[in-house]
Amino acid sequence: MGGWTEGYVGGIDYIRAVYRDWSPAMLCFALTLRGWRPPEALRRGGGFTLAEPGCGHGLTSALLAGAHPAARFEAMDFNPSHIAGVRRLAAEAGLANAEFLEESFAEYARRDGPMLDVVALHGVWSWVSAENRAILLDTLRRRLMPGGVVFVSYNALPGTLSHMPLRRLLVERCAEGDGPLPDRIARAVEFAARIAAQGGGWFANTEGVVERIEQLRHKSPNYIAHEYLNGDWTAFYHADVARELAAVKLEFAGAAVPMEQLDDLTLSSVQQTLADEMRDPVRAETLRDVMTNRSFRRDLFVKGGERLGRSERRALLGESRFALLVATDDLPEVASTPVGRLPFPRALYQPLAGALTEGPQSLDALLARPALAAQGEEAVLRALVLLTSLSLAAPVTPAEGFAERRASSDRFNAAVLQRHRFGDAPGQLASPVLGAGVPVSRIEALFLLAGRLGEEPAAFAWRHLSADGIVLGRDGERCEGDDANLVELARRHAAFVQRRLPVLEGLGVA
């Protein structure tokens, strides 16, 4: 590739993904939980402005634009193929409230535009040069509204220390030999696996590295290239990121994932006592990362954020509404958390899920139910924190403006469903209830599309899957031939109608 990549890996696109961490309702819940007043425009779910520098394929911004027609979105990336793809989706979905700019951070910094309520920097901070981070800081200084929020993710220390030699090994091995980058990446991963298999040295002394290499064998070359092969790749202590952002008046507000705000879900009781000895929140957070060997962080920062008093925080949490993302029967019996597996007690989760299957409910409405009141407010809130963090439930956007959100989401989803005739991206539909994405598999998308087109679902899905050479499986066996695949699809469709469709209808995506 030419000279425009500024040390960033070129010639290979990033993976296509949609993230939920900076959807307005999620931001509001995470901020309120941590005692910050969420920006009013976000709380109303309406006229906010959101920017996503380094947006990759821009699918999160596109989906949020579909789900929030009254808001405005600016997503930018210097990779022209990322921007060309998302512009085509935006045109198909009739998005009039989003711009997708093919610009470098430096070009974007020179642009004038409206003041921003939210800036999302996902997968950017650790993967670009110090010079580009300074440019992004300048954009934040100039354009973030007082009261605005920044989401930033980065590779964290000390957990990333163990990835450093592996990254170096991949970089050096990819530089050897020729051929297309994906082939060189595959050879580099196999080379690392062969070295690891010899054991000894760094491999013998570093926990988790063999497992990490095994994981990489199943990752796409697109992910590996963008994660490991950039000229710049810096892991940060949380305190150092907080210091850089403090220079542009940003203050650490808390972990973006609600569960990560609760010490008892991330630290042992002794570790909690040690963390409590640190009065400064940034130092305490950095200590937590050391104690948990954290390797990746998703943080929220606020500019001129307002702290909520105890009763106002309680009032705002009480008004917050939540929806279930899975059928009640699909709730797991245990949750995986950083401190191990926690049981989902039936006495709490059954009435909670039962209430949420009736439709979105506020915390106050849930607590008005005797079975949940008996569990106590703390336990119900904690359950909601866990469910939302594990993508089993999600906070809901205000009811106001629903009809417009529904019409716009529907247009967006029509375009997205059409895409699933040919692949499994973006794999999410816009929910006017959540104001965020709902994951769907390619087969689910094909069933939904068949419904819209009045086609027989199993036959419609099989026509598209077989065109891509896909063969289904059942109980570990391949379904051989058209008939066996059609029978399997009919079985899956019946299960979809019974368990998944009611959830998707409740979320306004079907």
Ligand X SMILES: C[S@@+](CC[C@H](N)C(=O)[O-])C[C@H]1O[C@@H](n2cnc3c(N)ncnc32)[C@H](O)[C@@H]1O
Binding residues for ligand X, rule: CB under 6 A, are: 6, 8, 14, 17, 54-56, 77-79, 82, 104-105, 122-124, 127-128, 132, 226
Q: Categorise residue 244: left if φ over 0, alpha if ψ from -120 to 50, beta otherwise.
A: alpha
As measured in angstroms, the least distance from the Cβ of 219 to ligand X is: 13
Distances (CA, A) of 388 to 35, 169, 308, 350: 18, 37, 22, 16
Task: Give the residue with the Cβ less far from ligand X, 58 or 305.
Answer: 58
Task: Give the residue with the Cβ less far from ligand X, 102 or 364.
Answer: 102
As measured in angstroms, the least distance from the Cβ of 20 to ligand X is: 12
Task: Give the residue with the Cβ less far from ligand X, 191 or 223.
Answer: 223
State the residue number with the nearest CB to ligand X: 56
Burial (CB count <10 Å: 0-12, 13-18, 19+), residue 51: buried
Angle value at C-alpha 281, between 275 and 282, nearest 5 degrees: 105
Task: Give the residue with the Cβ less far from ligand X, 77 or 444.
Answer: 77
As measured in angstroms, the least distance from the Cβ of 385 to ligand X is: 24
> Token pair 């972990």 is at which residue?
255
As measured in angstroms, the least distance from the Cβ of 156 to ligand X is: 16
Task: Give the residue with the Cβ less far from ligand X, 6 or 92.
Answer: 6
Q: Are 65 and 71 in contact (CB under 8 A)?
A: yes
> Rounded to whole angstroms, how far apart are CA atoms 303 and 140?
10
Q: What does DSSP assign to residue 39? A: P
Task: Give the residue with the Cβ less far from ligand X, 6 or 364.
Answer: 6
> Rounded to whole angstroms, how far apart are CA atoms 465 and 384?
37
> Rounded to whole angstroms, how far apart are CA atoms 267 and 479?
46
- Tokens at 216, concatenated: 């990489």
> Rounded to whole angstroms, how far apart are CA atoms 61 and 81?
16
Other C-beta atoms closer than 10 Å to the C-beta of 280 total 12
Q: Are 360 and 322 in contact (CB under 8 A)?
A: yes
As measured in angstroms, the least distance from the Cβ of 60 to ligand X is: 7
> Rounded to whole angstroms, how far apart are CA atoms 339 and 386?
13
As measured in angstroms, the least distance from the Cβ of 302 to ligand X is: 21
Task: Give the residue with the Cβ less far from ligand X, 296 or 422.
Answer: 296
Task: Give the residue with the Cβ less far from ligand X, 229 or 352.
Answer: 229
Task: Give the residue with the Cβ less far from ligand X, 295 or 375.
Answer: 295
- Tokens at 434, concatenated: 């959540």
> Rounded to whole angstroms, how far apart are CA atoms 318 and 327?
24
As measured in angstroms, the least distance from the Cβ of 127 to ligand X is: 5
As measured in angstroms, the least distance from the Cβ of 153 to ligand X is: 8
Q: Are strands 116-121 and 49-53 parallel, antiparallel or unpaired?
A: parallel
As measured in angstroms, the least distance from the Cβ of 227 to ligand X is: 7
List, in sequence order, every beta strand (DSSP E) within 376-463.
393-395, 428-431, 436-439
